[in-house]
């Protein structure tokens, strides 16, 4: 990758790179490391100013930088509390290019499924109801706690998980849970070469996973949806035709059809294709069009038996970023903050 | 370059202006909506002066987009598109928004209606700016026509077209043309003999040089669109060589196998295993019914083959599929009778002397199983009293809510025939007497004079359980006489159930094949119930006769002729415009998932296996949008209904509630 190293300048004047995590699992960082020895090229091209996963770094150092001092910030994770929101705003201000990196930042991902509940229900479950919890005093996290040494602060936990672009202005999106290492490398190369697409672009392919999938496809007619444990699918034929709800039809290509390759249906981690307003709605509409029944009774039976968790199926990665964003909010909630 | 939009708000006399403050809407649009260069209101936009106003503004003000807020685009989109074309503006740069049916006609409060009209205008203005110029294409109309169904409606249509010099393929599923009318004895209200007026038409169709008769045939598939349909027809194996057979009938005479004829004779008579439905059948070529033929069942016999003077019997004949190319299609598939067993309390199938109306037609028919003698099931006893029950399965929420239209008249006809042929008393049990066509009320008066008894009320039960001595051995009609205001039990010998006219059981399927829809009841839906009764929403597909709704022979004939006239109009025009409002697949981005492959109601989508992408055949696409919403990758776009246009429309309609766009832009 000569262009990246070629663009690298002497230390000190190297462009600054920040990698930050908010509500996320850490998989995105692992995936960055998955670019393998090319990480050395990244180190040669950039000065890494922040990456809590692998190095120590202080928020105050970032606060002291001039606005726009960071060339690129790869921001993964969704926004679930006030600290993450603050960091998103801070990094936005300090970075020339802010990339929503990975599914959580891009469309909310698994943390976003918490939008089916609210803060109170989540606390009740986590700090009270789980089998392993013993909490007779009903202790709950407090944003401020006074101890002899002074006051301790915890971030405010919000009712609603937001995507990065529902919080701050975002320049690019790198989809995937996590983004696949080759795609990360391609994106970094493009950034280094200054070969950037128009703002707002989702960096990836403009077709869907089926395009990369080698399975044989026929006209689709599904009489029964099956869960993955119910059948051992034929390795040659499209999984959807075999009744496994493969989201590959609606999911942006980029991973190389990893899951269907190993006989497992795509669950949609790369998010929607270009021009799609709402991944779940698109997918539902497509799935609905191949159900092979002609009366409402049979159709209902096929759906209720085969798709017991519609939100988890159609909005597994995209609930927070979807048109509806969350379940109906109970009265008296914090309004998303 | 910013667009220059002209907005025209119509008063529609007081139709719109009565409930919408039209002047205010126009003024508001001119002052508040972006890119609006001209905004006017006018009494009747569709008038020539209204149209001229638009044309002048396009020329004078250099308008690049036009919005007309008026009635439904169904009514006047063509008018305003024409005005745009006249002034040199591409007609697809017009948007019509409906502030009449969608606004003034459905609201009471002027302020709210005016606000809604503003929203609709705002939506149209936002949308129209994203509309793109489109060019229609033209295709030649194939002058041949397909008529499906050889009942009286289909026959009429066939003969009109054939006489005008155009070729017609008449496809009939049963072995002969003629339809239900062939089963009748007399026809109301004039009582002329059904066969006498029908058979000449049948033989004319059979011999006409412009008619290709395909009886005992079924429609397999219909592809293509107006002007150029490709139809696959399956000719069922007759097992008789059509060309060799002279129709001498020796085979029928000699066939040793006799079976109950459940079709033409409605179960009252018999036919042979090789048969024509009735002696005057057209064509006269018989068919072998393999299910009853001794040869097919037991590999014995072949009597017909041995005796046929022209060696026309072909036991090994198989179904044959033909491909027809036609420009227009007339559906005249008629009706089927209500299953009277579905009302068990009327006893049909259980009580021997309860008859269906078609059985009774056969009883009365001089060529029928009893040579026209009205007798009970025993085949000899003349009834002394006959009850005719109206509305069986019609006007009944449990079966069909609609009125079958013809049953009252057919009942009167039956009453007359009973009185003429027997000494029996005849009772009509009716709810309302519906005799509202030419000569019908007079016929009713005639039956009143002839002494038919009329009991107004719905029959609750027909039973053979006698309570009184005079009921012994009789069928008792239990009913509330609503004119006398009391329950009555009337013992009779014979009962005729006037079953409803229902849509054919395969009407939905047939509609699907041709790309037209059926009403809730299952009758084919016409384009407009009043103004366009024989056309359908699919260009080039017409309907005639009872398949469009229950009707009598005169109305069926009128529709047959009307459909033929419409088809002739198309043929004379020679070319049809193909709307450019079609869908298109971005084949670069199509993943070839094949979700869209079998959802197009017009079969316009094909899969290119070599390239692994789907493809839309533009000539077949009607722009319905089904595939656009089904494509999970969102790579199909609908011209004139792009996401951008629809989004703009939604934003426009929400002008008063939408929050100004914040700095945060959403990616998806
Ligand atoms: C008891 C009774 C008595 C009546 N008496 C009178 C009367 O005296 N006077 C009067 O004006 N009206 C009368 N009517 C009404 C009359 O029957 C109808 O008006 C008339 O039959 C309508 O004609 P049609 O051609 O639309 O349908 P039909 O007569 O039903 O003919 C339809 C034809 O299409 C064929 N067909 C159906 N489906 C297909 C398919 N998929 N492919 C190919 N072919 C197909 C059928 O085999 C049939 O030949 C009476 C009705 C009843 C029930
Ligand atoms: S298995 Fe999934 S990804 Fe592969 S073709 Fe079928 S739907 Fe597409
Ligand atoms: S196949 Fe689907 S779920 Fe699996 S990695 Fe690819 S995009 Fe993600
Ligand atoms: S829009 Fe799509 S589904 Fe509709 S007619 Fe055209 S190709 Fe067929
Ligand atoms: S549904 Fe969309 S992506 Fe799939 S084959 Fe059709 S056009 Fe292509």
Ligand 5 within 6 A of CB of B592: yes
Residue B430 tokens, joined? 């009716």
Tell me the C-alpha to C-alpha distance, in Å, between residue B260 and each of B180, B275, B350, B378: 18, 12, 18, 16
Check CB contact under 8 Å for B666 and A206.
Answer: no
Ligand 2 within 6 A of CB of A243: no
Residue B316 tokens, joined? 């090994």
Exposure string of A16-36, with b = 16+ CB inside 10 Å and e = fewer, is bbbbbbbbbbebbbebbebbe
A178-192: per-residue pLDDT in tens? 999 999 999 988 888
**Mean per-residue pLDDT for B186-210?**
96
Check CB contact under 8 Å for A208 and B626.
Answer: no
Whether A82 and A214 map to the same domain: the answer is no
Q: Is A9 inside any structural domain? A: no
| Peptide bond connecting B189 to the previous residue in cis, omega within 30 degrees of 0 | yes
Whether A184 and A213 map to the same domain: the answer is no
State how far the Cα of B362 lies from the Cα of B367, in Å rounded to an integer.
8
| pTM exceeds 0.80 | no
Touching B: A residues 60-99, CB under 8 Å: none
Ligand 2 within 6 A of CB of A257: yes
State how far the Cα of B223 lies from the Cα of B604, in Å rounded to an integer.
9
Q: Is A2 inside any structural domain? A: no
Share in percent of chain A as helix, strand, coil (round to 5): 35, 15, 45
**Mean per-residue pLDDT for B496-507?**
98
DSSP H helical ranges for B480-619: 507-514, 553-573
A205-222: per-residue pLDDT in tens? 999 999 999 999 999 999
B344-363: per-residue pLDDT in tens? 999 999 999 999 999 999 99
Task: Confirm if A111 and A319 have CB atoms less than 8 A apart.
Answer: no
- CATH number (domain holding residue A65): 3.40.50.700
Interstrand relation of B575-578 and B137-140 (parallel, antiparallel or unpaired): antiparallel
How many CB atoms are located within 10 Å of the residue A195 CB?
9
Phi-psi region of B372 (alpha: psi -120 to 50; beta: other; left: phi over 0): left
Angle between the B357-364 and B407-421 helix axes, to the nearest 10 degrees?
40
State how far the Cα of B400 lies from the Cα of B500, in Å rounded to an integer.
8
Residue A243 has pLDDT above 90, yes or no: yes
Q: Chain B: residue nearest A275 by CA?
A: B634
**Mean per-residue pLDDT for B385-399?**
97
Report residue A6's pLDDT band, with 50, 70 and 90 as the boundaries.
very low
Chain A positions in Cβ-Cβ contact with residue B630 (cut-off 8 Å): 285-286, 288-289
Chain B positions in Cβ-Cβ contact with residue A167 (cut-off 8 Å): 664
Whether A166 and A230 map to the same domain: the answer is no
Whole-number pLDDT of residue B1: 62
State how far the Cα of A257 lies from the Cα of A246, in Å rounded to an integer.
11
Residue B557 has pLDDT above 90, yes or no: yes
**Mean per-residue pLDDT for A70-98?**
97
Three-point CA angle B314, B180, B269, nearest 5°: 65
Q: What is the DSSP letter of A211?
A: G
Whether A48 and A90 map to the same domain: the answer is yes
Asked if B596 reaches chain A (Cβ–Cβ under 8 Å), the answer is yes
Complete DSSP assignment for B75-134 = HHHHHHHHHHHHTT--GGGEEEEESTTTTGGG---HHHHHHHHHHHHHHHHHHHTT----
Chain A positions in Cβ-Cβ contact with residue B628 (cut-off 8 Å): none
Q: Chain B: residue nearest A283 by CA?
A: B632
Q: Which numbered atom of ligand 4 lies nearest the CA of B599?
A: 3
Q: Is A91 inside any structural domain? A: yes
Instruction: Provide the mean pLDDT of chain A.
Output: 92
Report residue B75's pLDDT band, with 50, 70 and 90 as the boundaries.
confident
SS3 (DSSP) at A179: coil
Ligand 2 within 6 A of CB of A246: yes
Q: Is A7 inside any structural domain? A: no
A276-285: per-residue pLDDT in tens? 999 999 999 9
Q: Which numbered atom of ligand 4 lies nearest the CA of B636?
A: 2
State how far the Cα of B556 lies from the Cα of B391, in Å rounded to an integer.
21
Cβ neighbours of residue A130 closer than 8 Å, sequence gap 6 or more: none
Residue B23 has pLDDT above 50, yes or no: yes
State how far the Cα of B133 lies from the Cα of B94, in Å rounded to an integer.
9
Q: Is A330 inside any structural domain? A: no
Asked if B625 reaches chain A (Cβ–Cβ under 8 Å), the answer is no
Residue B182 tokens, joined? 């062939």
| Peptide bond connecting B283 to the previous residue in cis, omega within 30 degrees of 0 | yes
Touching B: A residues 219-248, CB under 8 Å: 219-221, 238, 240, 248
Whole-number pLDDT of residue B622: 85
Check CB contact under 8 Å for B668 and A276.
Answer: yes
Whole-number pLDDT of residue A334: 53
**Mean per-residue pLDDT for B610-626?**
91
Whether A52 and A79 map to the same domain: the answer is yes
How many angstroms separate the CA of residue B33 from the nearest CA in chain A? 26
Residue B556 has pLDDT above 50, yes or no: yes
In the reported structure, the alpha carbon of residue B591 is separated from the centroid of ligand 5 by a whole-number distance in angstroms of 6
Whether A252 and A187 map to the same domain: the answer is no
State how far the Cα of B116 lies from the Cα of B112, in Å rounded to an integer.
6
Tell me the C-alpha to C-alpha distance, in Å, between residue B438 and each of B153, B409, B465, B533: 19, 12, 42, 20
Report residue A157's pLDDT band, with 50, 70 and 90 as the boundaries.
very high
Q: Whose CA is nearest to atom 2 of ligand 3?
A: A266
CB pairs < 8 Å spanning A and B: 105
Q: What is the DSSP letter of B469?
A: G
Cβ neighbours of residue A3 closer than 8 Å, sequence gap 6 or more: A189, A192, A193
Complete DSSP assignment for B157-197 = HHHHHHHTT--EEEE-SSSSS-GGGGG-SEETTTTEEHHHH
CA gyration radius, chain A: 22
In the reported structure, the alpha carbon of residue B569 is separated from the centroid of ligand 5 by a whole-number distance in angstroms of 39
In the reported structure, the alpha carbon of residue B572 is separated from the centroid of ligand 1 by a whole-number distance in angstroms of 30
Residue A205 tokens, joined? 């392919």
In the reported structure, the alpha carbon of residue A313 is separated from the centroid of ligand 3 by a whole-number distance in angstroms of 13
Ligand 1 within 6 A of CB of B503: no
Task: Confirm if B146 and B171 have CB atoms less than 8 A apart.
Answer: yes
Q: Is A96 inside any structural domain? A: yes
Q: Which of A169, A193, A217 is the last residue of a domain?
A: A193
How many angstroms separate the CA of residue A289 from the nearest CA in chain B? 6
Q: Is A1 inside any structural domain? A: no
How many independent structural domains does chain A possess? Answer: 2
* Nearest partner of A289 among B595, B593, B614, judged by Cα: B595
Ligand 1 within 6 A of CB of B361: yes
Whether A79 and A172 map to the same domain: the answer is yes
Q: Which domains does chain B have, with CATH numbers?
A: 5-134 (3.40.50.960), 145-334+504-573 (3.50.50.60), 335-502 (3.50.50.60), 583-636 (3.30.70.20)
User: Which residue from A253, A260, A268 has its CB within 8 A of the most atoms of ligand 2, so it is best to mutate?
Assistant: A260
Residue B223 has pLDDT above 90, yes or no: no
SS3 (DSSP) at B275: strand
Tell me the C-alpha to C-alpha distance, in Å, between residue A129 and each of A81, A121, A125: 22, 10, 5
**Mean per-residue pLDDT for B14-38?**
97
Report residue A304's pLDDT band, with 50, 70 and 90 as the boundaries.
very high
| Peptide bond connecting A178 to the previous residue in cis, omega within 30 degrees of 0 | yes
- Out of A206, A220, A288, whose CB is closest to B594? A220
Domain enclosing residue A27, as ranges:
16-110+159-193
- Out of A170, A238, A283, whose CB is closest to B632? A283
Read off φ and ψ for residue B351, nearest 5 degrees: -100, 120
Whether A93 and A182 map to the same domain: the answer is yes
Angle between the B152-163 and B553-573 helix axes, to the nearest 10 degrees?
30
Whether A182 and A254 map to the same domain: the answer is no
Report residue A12's pLDDT band, with 50, 70 and 90 as the boundaries.
low
State how far the Cα of B288 lies from the Cα of A182, in Å rounded to an integer.
71
Mutation to test the A interface, candidates B634, B637, B644, B659, most A Cβ within 10 Å: B634
Chain B positions in Cβ-Cβ contact with residue A207 (cut-off 8 Å): 588-591, 633, 635
Q: Is A215 inside any structural domain? A: yes
Residue A10 has pLDDT above 60, yes or no: no
**Mean per-residue pLDDT for B417-423?**
96
Q: What is the residue whose two structure tokens read 């300090």?
A: A94
Residue B233 tokens, joined? 């027809």
In the reported structure, the alpha carbon of residue A224 is separated from the centroid of ligand 3 by a whole-number distance in angstroms of 23
Distance between alpha carbon B632 and the CA centroid of its chain, in Å?
A: 34
Residue B323 has pLDDT above 60, yes or no: yes
**Mean per-residue pLDDT for B617-640?**
92
Check CB contact under 8 Å for A286 and B632.
Answer: yes
Task: Report percent pLDDT > 90 for chain A.
Answer: 85
How many angstroms separate the CA of residue B304 from the nearest CA in chain A? 45
Touching B: A residues 169-188, CB under 8 Å: 169-170, 173
CA gyration radius, chain B: 31
Ligand 3 within 6 A of CB of A42: no
State how far the Cα of B371 lies from the Cα of B348, in Å rounded to an integer.
23
Q: What is the DSSP letter of B588?
A: T
In the reported structure, the alpha carbon of residue A290 is separated from the centroid of ligand 3 by a whole-number distance in angstroms of 21
Residue B347 tokens, joined? 């006893």
Whole-number pLDDT of residue B666: 38
Complete DSSP assignment for B215-251 = -SEEEEEEEEETTEEEEEEEE---SB-TTT-----HH
Instruction: Provide the mean pLDDT of chain B.
Output: 95
**Residue positions counted in chain B:** 668
**Residue positions counted in chain A:** 337
ipTM of the complex: 0.89
B427-468: per-residue pLDDT in tens? 999 999 999 999 999 999 999 999 999 999 999 999 999 999
- Out of A165, A202, A219, whose CB is closest to B597? A219
Whole-number pLDDT of residue B653: 96
* Nearest partner of B84 among B95, B75, B74, judged by Cα: B95
Whether A22 and A53 map to the same domain: the answer is yes
Task: Report percent pLDDT > 70 for chain A.
Answer: 94
Chain A positions in Cβ-Cβ contact with residue B667 (cut-off 8 Å): 100, 106, 165, 170, 173, 200, 202, 321
State how far the Cα of B491 lies from the Cα of B480, in Å rounded to an integer.
14
**Mean per-residue pLDDT for A68-74?**
96
B261-283: per-residue pLDDT in tens? 999 999 999 999 999 999 999 99
Whether A186 and A213 map to the same domain: the answer is no
Residue A159 has pLDDT above 70, yes or no: yes
Whether A163 and A239 map to the same domain: the answer is no
Chain A positions in Cβ-Cβ contact with residue B593 (cut-off 8 Å): 208, 210, 217, 220, 240, 248-249
In the reported structure, the alpha carbon of residue A33 is separated from the centroid of ligand 2 by a whole-number distance in angstroms of 29
**Mean per-residue pLDDT for A148-156?**
95
* Nearest partner of A224 among A287, A301, A302, judged by Cα: A302
State how far the Cα of A22 lies from the Cα of B350, in Å rounded to an integer.
78
Task: Confirm if A74 and A19 have CB atoms less than 8 A apart.
Answer: yes
Q: Chain B: residue nearest A279 by CA?
A: B632
Chain B positions in Cβ-Cβ contact with residue A274 (cut-off 8 Å): 589, 634
State how far the Cα of B655 lies from the Cα of B652, in Å rounded to an integer.
5
Distance between alpha carbon A324 and the CA centroid of its chain, in Å?
A: 17
State how far the Cα of B399 lies from the Cα of B422, in Å rounded to an integer.
33
């Amino acid at each position: 990758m000569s262009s990246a190293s070629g663009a690298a300048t002497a230390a000190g004047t190297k462009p600054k790179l920040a990698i930050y995590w908010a509500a996320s699992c850490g998989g995105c960082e692992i995936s960055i490391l998955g670019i393998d020895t090319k990480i050395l090229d990244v180190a040669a091209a950039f000065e890494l100013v922040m990456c809590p996963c692998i190095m120590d770094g202080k928020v105050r150092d970032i606060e002291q930088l001039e606005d726009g001092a960071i060339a690129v910030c790869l921001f993964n994770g969704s926004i679930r509390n006030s600290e993450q929101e603050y960091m998103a705003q801070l990094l936005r201000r300090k970075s020339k290019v802010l990339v929503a990196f990975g599914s959580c930042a891009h469309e909310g991902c698994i943390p976003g499924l918490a939008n089916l509940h609210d803060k109170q229900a989540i606390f009740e479950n986590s700090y009270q109801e789980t089998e392993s919890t013993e909490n007779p005093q009903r202790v709950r996290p407090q944003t401020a706690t006074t101890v002899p040494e002074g006051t301790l602060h915890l971030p405010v936990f919000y009712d609603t998980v937001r995507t990065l672009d529902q919080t701050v202005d975002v320049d690019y999106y790198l989809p995937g849970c996590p983004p696949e290492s080759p795609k990360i490398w391609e994106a970094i190369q493009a950034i280094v070469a200054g070969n950037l697409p128009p703002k707002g672009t989702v960096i990836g392919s403009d077709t869907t996973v089926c395009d990369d999938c080698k399975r044989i496809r026929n006209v689709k007619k599904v009489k029964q949806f099956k869960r993955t444990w119910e059948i051992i699918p034929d390795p040659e034929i499209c999984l959807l035709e075999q009744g496994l709800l493969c989201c590959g039809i609606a999911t942006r290509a980029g991973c190389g059809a990893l899951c269907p390759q190993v006989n497992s249906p795509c669950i949609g981690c790369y998010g929607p294709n270009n021009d799609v307003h709402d991944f779940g709605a698109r997918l539902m509409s497509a799935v609905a069009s191949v159900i092979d029944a002609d009366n409402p009774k049979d159709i209902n039976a096929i759906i209720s038996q085969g798709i017991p968790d519609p939100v988890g199926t159609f909005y597994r990665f995209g609930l927070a970023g979807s048109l509806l964003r969350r379940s109906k909010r109970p009265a008296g909630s914090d309004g998303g903050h | 370059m910013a667009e220059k939009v002209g907005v025209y708000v119509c008063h529609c006399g007081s139709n719109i202006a009565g409930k919408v403050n039209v002047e205010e809407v126009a003024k508001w649009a001119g002052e508040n909506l972006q890119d609006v260069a001209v905004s006017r209101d006018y009494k009747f936009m569709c008038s020539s002066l209204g149209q001229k106003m638009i044309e002048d503004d396009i020329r004078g003000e250099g308008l690049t987009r036009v919005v007309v807020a008026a009635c439904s685009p169904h009514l006047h989109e063509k008018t305003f598109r024409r005005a745009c074309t006249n002034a040199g503006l591409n007609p697809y740069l017009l948007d019509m928004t409906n502030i009449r049916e969608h606004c003034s006609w459905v609201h009471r409060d002027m302020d709210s209606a005016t606000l809604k009209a503003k929203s609709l205008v705002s939506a149209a203005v936002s949308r129209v700016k994203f509309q793109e110029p489109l060019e229609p294409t033209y295709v030649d109309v194939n002058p041949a026509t397909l008529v499906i169904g050889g009942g009286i409606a289909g026959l009429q249509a066939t003969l009109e077209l054939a006489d005008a010099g155009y070729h017609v393929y008449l496809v009939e599923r049963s072995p002969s043309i003629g339809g239900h009318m062939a089963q009748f004895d007399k026809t109301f209200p004039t009582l002329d003999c059904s066969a006498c007026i029908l058979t000449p038409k049948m033989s004319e169709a059979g011999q006409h040089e412009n008619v290709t008769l395909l009886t005992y045939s079924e429609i397999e598939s219909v592809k293509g669109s107006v002007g150029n349909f490709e139809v696959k027809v399956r000719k069922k194996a007759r097992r008789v060589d059509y060309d060799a057979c002279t129709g001498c009938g020796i085979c029928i005479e000699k066939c040793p196998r006799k079976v109950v004829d459940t079709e033409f004779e409605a179960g009252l008579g018999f036919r042979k295993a090789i048969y024509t439905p009735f002696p005057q059948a057209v064509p006269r070529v018989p068919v072998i019914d393999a299910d009853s033929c001794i040869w097919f069942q037991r590999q014995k016999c072949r009597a017909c083959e041995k005796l046929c003077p022209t060696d026309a019997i072909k036991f090994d004949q198989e179904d044959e599929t033909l491909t027809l190319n036609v420009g227009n299609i007339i559906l005249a598939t008629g009706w089927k009778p209500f299953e009277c067993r579905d009302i068990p309390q009327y006893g049909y199938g259980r009580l021997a002397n309860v008859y269906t109306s078609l059985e009774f037609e056969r009883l009365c028919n001089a060529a029928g199983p009893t040579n026209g003698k009205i007798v009970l099931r025993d085949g000899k006893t003349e009834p002394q009293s006959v009850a005719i029950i109206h509305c069986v399965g019609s006007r009944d929420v449990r079966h069909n809510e609609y009125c079958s239209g013809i049953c009252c008249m057919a009942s009167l006809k039956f009453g007359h025939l009973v009185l003429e042929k027997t000494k029996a008393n005849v009772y009509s049990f009716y709810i309302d007497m519906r005799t509202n066509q030419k000569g019908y009320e007079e016929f009713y008066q005639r039956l009143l004079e002839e002494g038919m008894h009329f009991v107004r009320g719905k029959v609750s039960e027909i039973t053979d359980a006698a309570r009184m001595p005079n009921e012994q051995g009789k069928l008792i009609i239990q009913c509330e006489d609503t004119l006398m205001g009391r329950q009555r039990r009337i013992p009779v010998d014979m009962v005729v159930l006037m079953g409803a006219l229902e849509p054919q059981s395969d009407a939905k399927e047939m509609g699907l094949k041709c790309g037209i829809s059926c009403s809730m009841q299952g009758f084919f839906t016409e384009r407009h119930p009043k103004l366009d009764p024989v056309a359908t929403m699919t260009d080039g597909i017409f309907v005639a006769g009872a398949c469009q709704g229950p009707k009598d022979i005169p109305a069926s004939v009128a529709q047959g002729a009307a459909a033929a006239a419409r088809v002739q109009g198309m043929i004379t025009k020679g070319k049809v415009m193909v709307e450019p409002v079609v869908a298109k697949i971005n084949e670069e981005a199509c993943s070839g998932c094949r979700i869209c492959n079998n959802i197009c109601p017009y079969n316009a989508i094909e899969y290119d296996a070599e390239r692994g992408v789907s493809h839309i055949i533009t000539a077949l696409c009607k722009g319905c949008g089904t595939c656009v919403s089904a494509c999970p990758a969102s790579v199909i776009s609908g011209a004139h209904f792009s996401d951008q246009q629809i989004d703009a429309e939604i934003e426009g309609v929400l002008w008063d509630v939408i929050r100004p766009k914040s700095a945060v832009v959403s990616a998806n």
